[in-house]
Amino acid sequence: MEAAISIKTVAQLEKLNAHLLACGLKRTRQRDLIATVFFQEEGHISIEELCAKVRRMDARISVATVYRTMRLLAESGLVHPHHFTGGHTRYEVAGEHHDHLICTRCGSIVEFEDKQIETLQAAVARRHDFFILSHKMEIYGLCKDCRALDNFGESAGLRTQLPTES
């Protein structure tokens, strides 16, 4: 584990500890290590990737312990699990709302925010007298690098954007 832990990570650990206390659960060295490693990560990480990182610091931590800790983090609202294609759940630190572009070939994930999309979604909901509690947008396709591997799209005559209204 890195010697310096960010103030943000410390705050997230405090929130986790409050959640554990509220649930009558104990704070453990293993949970602290798993949570600290996770909170210091950027982007989206699978259980397998997280387990490998944690085991570099403590080989005795089991995959089951990592799964249970991530479930607790999700229950506490500190983590968002995402079930992207490929059958593996990936986790990210909870934060500001954003949407995702997911490459179906290499699995890369790009986060983006777009006020026009959010405004349009709100307008559609109003038009249908619908109150939005939450939403997620996942757009699947091929990233630039994967398209370049075999000139996918360009040589096949496929568009990389949706057609615009006339």
Provide the pLDDT confidence category of residue 122 given band limits of 50, 70 and 90: very high
Question: Rounded to two decimals, what is the model's pTM?
Answer: 0.70
In CATH, the number for domain 7-92 is 1.10.10.10
Domain edges within the chain: 7-92, 96-150
Task: Evaluate if residue 34 carries a pLDDT over 60.
Answer: yes
In this prediction, residues 56-65 reach a mean pLDDT of 95
Percent of the chain whose pLDDT exceeds 70? 88
Q: Say which residue, 54 or 113, is predicted with more confidence.
A: 54
Helices 7-22 and 63-75: angle between axes, nearest 10 degrees: 90
What is the tens place of the pLDDT at every residue in 64-109? 999 999 999 999 999 999 887 767 788 988 887 888 898 988 888 8
**7-92 matches 96-150 in fold:** no
pLDDT, residue 166, reads 45
% of residues, the chain, pLDDT over 90: 54
In eight-state DSSP terms, residue 78 is S
Residue 11 has φ and ψ, to the nearest 5°, of -65, -40
**Please, are residues 51 and 89 in contact by the beta-carbon 8 Å criterion?**
no
51 pLDDT more than 90: yes
- The pLDDT of residue 13 is above 80: yes
Instruction: Please state whether beta strands 89-93 and 79-83 pair in parallel, antiparallel, or not at all (unpaired).
Output: antiparallel
Q: State residue 164's pLDDT score.
A: 54
pLDDT digits (tens, 9 = 90+) for 124-139: 999 999 998 888 888 9
Q: For position 137, what pLDDT does the model report? A: 87
Q: What is the DSSP letter of 82?
A: E
- Classified by CATH at the fold level, domain 96-150 comes out as Dna Ligase; domain 1 (3.30.1490)
